[in-house]
């Protein structure tokens, strides 16, 4: 069973992740979802075994900053480390990707990026089980932070000109992070990018749209099939 850790703090996008994104990307794979401030997090802090039934952990993106930290750092890192030490599969998206790096390497593994990224961008990917069935991808980007200072225990499996660590794998284990958002379809991804530019007009200078055919986005969901082992 998958534990989906929804770390989103904006109510609109938190609900969208629960009600639209999770059913779409999990298909028939069973899952349960938790949120920041859920009482179960306090229970987990006292008794980690309550999460023993989960085989996979998905950590969502968030408008929280991994480089600046927040009051939620301790519990997020504790949950990631529980899945690490129990040899469970983990996938982190954007903020979740950055927090996996911090959970393993400490605070020095994340920093503010020199060039923020927003919009649909081409990606260079390497051959990796996470990307089986994917070619010449374009993913949604939305981030101010980035992973850095990785050790040899990590393999960088995707990058572009603006961010070296667009995706990573830890020790050839089923532990991955993606800086980009593979969970976003064309409509919701484009709306999220549009909303961001409306709210933060100065970021328009960083907006990119490499899409010429929106159907190319459909292959991005294969990442979750590969992670969960479903078809």
Alpha-carbon gap, residue 31 to 230, rounded angstroms: 13
Percent of residues, the chain, with pLDDT higher than 90: 91
Give me the residue spans of the domains in the chain. Answer: 2-228
* Per-residue H/E/C for 163-228: EEEEEEEECCCCEEEECCECCCCHHHHHHHHHHHHHHCHHHHHHEEECCCCHHHHHHHHHHHHHHH
Q: Which residue has the tokens 């949950």?
A: 79
Residue in 56, 94, 110, 163 annotated catalytic: 94
8 A C-beta contact, residue 171 and residue 164 = no
Q: Is 219 exposed, middle or buried (0-12, 13-18, 19+ CB in 10 A)?
A: middle
Q: Read off the pLDDT of residues 46-77 as tens digits, 9 standing for 90 and up.
A: 999 999 999 999 999 999 999 999 999 999 99
For the domain bounded by 2-228, which CATH number is listed?
A: 3.40.50.880
The pLDDT value recorded for residue 12 is 87
- Residue 202 pLDDT class (50, 70, 90 cuts): very high
Sequence-distant (6+) residues with CB within 8 A of 136 are: 122, 216
- State both tokens at 192: 């999220």
Active site residue 183: yes
Does position 157 have pLDDT exceeding 90, yes or no? yes
- Residue 99 pLDDT class (50, 70, 90 cuts): very high
Does position 231 have pLDDT exceeding 90, yes or no? no
- Residue 8 pLDDT class (50, 70, 90 cuts): very high
Alpha-carbon gap, residue 65 to 70, rounded angstroms: 7
**Mean local confidence (pLDDT), 95-116:** 96
Residue in 110, 181, 188, 196 annotated catalytic: 181
- Residue 112 pLDDT class (50, 70, 90 cuts): very high
Does position 131 have pLDDT exceeding 60, yes or no? yes
The pLDDT value recorded for residue 116 is 95
Residue in 141, 146, 183, 188 annotated catalytic: 183
Active site residue 148: no
The pLDDT value recorded for residue 230 is 63
Q: Which residue has the tokens 């020790």?
A: 171
Coil, strand or helix: which one is 63? coil
- Residue 89 pLDDT class (50, 70, 90 cuts): very high
Q: What is the pTM of this model?
A: 0.95
The pLDDT value recorded for residue 134 is 96
């Amino acid at each position: 069973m998958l534990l989906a850790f929804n770390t989103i703090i904006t109510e609109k996008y938190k609900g969208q992740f629960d009600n639209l994104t999770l059913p779409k990307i999990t298909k028939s794979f069973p899952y349960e979802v938790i949120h920041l401030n859920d009482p179960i997090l306090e229970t987990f802090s006292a008794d980690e075994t309550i999460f023993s039934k989960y085989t996979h952990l998905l950590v969502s993106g968030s408008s929280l900053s991994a480089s600046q930290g927040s009051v939620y750092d301790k519990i997020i890192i504790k949950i990631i480390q529980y899945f690490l030490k129990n040899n469970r599969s983990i996938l982190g998206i954007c903020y979740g990707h950055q927090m996996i790096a911090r959970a393993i390497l400490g605070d020095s593994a994340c920093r503010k990026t020199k060039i923020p990224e927003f919009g649909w961008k081409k990606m260079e990917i390497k051959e990796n089980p996470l990307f089986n069935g994917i070619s010449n991808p374009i993913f949604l980007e939305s981030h101010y932070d980035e992973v850095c200072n990785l050790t040899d225990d990590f393999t960088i499996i995707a990058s572009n000109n603006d961010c070296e660590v667009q995706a990573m794998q830890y020790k050839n284990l089923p532990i991955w992070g993606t800086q980009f958002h593979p969970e976003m379809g064309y409509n919701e991804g484009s709306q999220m990018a549009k909303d961001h530019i409306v709210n933060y007009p100065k970021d328009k200078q960083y907006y990119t749209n490499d899409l010429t055919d929106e159907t190319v986005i459909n292959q991005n969901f294969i990442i979750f099939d590969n992670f969960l082992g479903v078809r």
